[in-house]
């Protein structure tokens, strides 16, 4: 079956449960970017999605034995933005994902990952931070699959969302599917609002409310970009998107 013949997903497809299907249809099927990191090599990719129209991307990553890959995503397009990531890790491979989603208005943003630890001793870390205002919806669906025999796996998912308005929605579903013993899999997930005490503290020192919020949110999303090769470019782009939200 060629790509063009792929049927449009429906709500029943788990990975598309929260998608903006009408917007998805306009860009369907998503172009697939294939990444293969050879054994023992390192590579990195940063993707800044902050365009005006709907966007859907798929990144299919294969890490051979001992390969290292560092992926950073800023998902802040003005309309629908979907980034799908599938990763297969070889023996001793190392995968890092740092993603920030910033949305307001009626935006729908989603990062959907499927990380497969196919062989022993591989590591994966996923850090996803979402800031959502207005009627925006931000979703993270992340499945970590540990194959039979993939002992020594170390997988971690840290998912946090900050809602600026009560009308915004965050969906977070970290998922583990483990078929091996002796593995370490951790996931944490939290949805909250900016700490009112912290905001008052910053304001009492002279920061206007919008600047105080920006400072706190900047720190919140920085966790997704810390240590990236182009941390500055990502941070600047995120800051610009953040200013649009406040």
Partner 1 sequence: MLQIDNLSNEIAGKAILKGLSLTVNAGEIHAIMGPNGAGKSTLAYTLGGRPGYEVTGGSVAFEGADLLAMEPHERAAAGLFLGFQYPVEIPGVSNVQFLREALNAQRKGRGEAPLSGGEFLKLAKEKAGLLRMDMDMLKRPVNVGFSGGEKKRAEMVQMGILDPRLAILDETDSGLDIDALRICGEGINAIMRKPDKAVLLITHYQRLLDYVKPDFVHVLAGGRIVKSGGPELALELEQHGYEAVAA
Binding residues for partner 1, rule: CB under 8 A, are 195-198, 200-209, 211-212, 215-216, 218-220, 222-223
User: Cβ 25 to partner 1, closest distance in Å?
Assistant: 39
Cβ-contact 185, 144 below 8 angstroms: yes
Cβ nearer to partner 1, comparing 34 with 196: 196
User: Cβ 110 to partner 1, closest distance in Å?
Assistant: 25
Q: Across-strand partners of 157?
A: 126, 187
Cβ nearer to partner 1, comparing 51 with 192: 192
What string of DSSP letters covers 200-215?
A: HHHHHTT--HHHHHHH
Cβ nearer to partner 1, comparing 147 with 222: 222
- Give CA–CA dist 20/8, Å, rounded: 12
User: Cβ 176 to partner 1, closest distance in Å?
Assistant: 27
Cβ nearer to partner 1, comparing 2 with 197: 197
DSSP state of 7: P
Which residues neighbour 166 within 8 Å (Cβ) at sequence distance 6 or greater? none
Cβ nearer to partner 1, comparing 159 with 183: 159
Crossing angle between the packed helical segments 209-225 and 231-245, to the nearest 10 degrees: 140
Which of 34, 40, 150, 33 shows the shortest CA–CA distance to 93?
40
- Give CA–CA dist 21/145, Å, rounded: 26
Which of 185, 182, 161, 180 shows the shortest CA–CA distance to 171?
161
User: Cβ 45 to partner 1, closest distance in Å?
Assistant: 25
User: Cβ 161 to partner 1, closest distance in Å?
Assistant: 16
- Give CA–CA dist 189/184, Å, rounded: 17
User: Cβ 198 to partner 1, closest distance in Å?
Assistant: 5
- Give CA–CA dist 238/50, Å, rounded: 9
Cβ nearer to partner 1, comparing 7 with 227: 227
């Amino acid at each position: 079956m060629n790509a063009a013949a792929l049927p449009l997903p429906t709500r029943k497809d788990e990975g598309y449960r929260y998608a903006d299907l009408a917007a998805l249809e306009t860009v369907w099927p998503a172009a697939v970017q294939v990444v293969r990191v050879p054994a023992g090599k390192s590579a990195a990719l940063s993707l800044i999605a902050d365009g005006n129209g709907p966007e859907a991307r798929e990144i299919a990553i294969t890490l051979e034995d001992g390969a290292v890959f560092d992926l950073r995503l800023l998902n802040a397009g003005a309309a629908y933005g979907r980034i799908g990531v599938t990763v297969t890790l070889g023996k001793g491979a190392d995968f890092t994902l740092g993603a920030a989603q910033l949305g307001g208005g009626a935006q729908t943003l989603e990062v959907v990952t499927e990380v497969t630890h196919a062989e022993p001793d591989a590591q994966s870390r996923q850090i996803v931070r979402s800031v959502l205002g207005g009627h925006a919806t931000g979703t993270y669906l992340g499945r970590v699959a540990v194959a039979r025999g993939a002992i020594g796996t170390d997988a971690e998912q840290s998912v946090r969302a900050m809602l600026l308005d009560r009308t915004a929605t965050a969906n977070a579903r970290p998922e583990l599917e483990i078929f091996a013993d002796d593995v370490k899999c951790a996931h944490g997930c939290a949805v909250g609002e900016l700490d009112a005490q912290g905001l008052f503290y910053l304001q009492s020192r002279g920061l206007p409310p919008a600047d105080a919020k920006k400072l706190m949110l900047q720190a919140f999303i920085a966790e997704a970009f810390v240590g990236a090769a182009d941390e500055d470019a990502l941070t600047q782009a995120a800051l610009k998107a953040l200013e649009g939200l406040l």
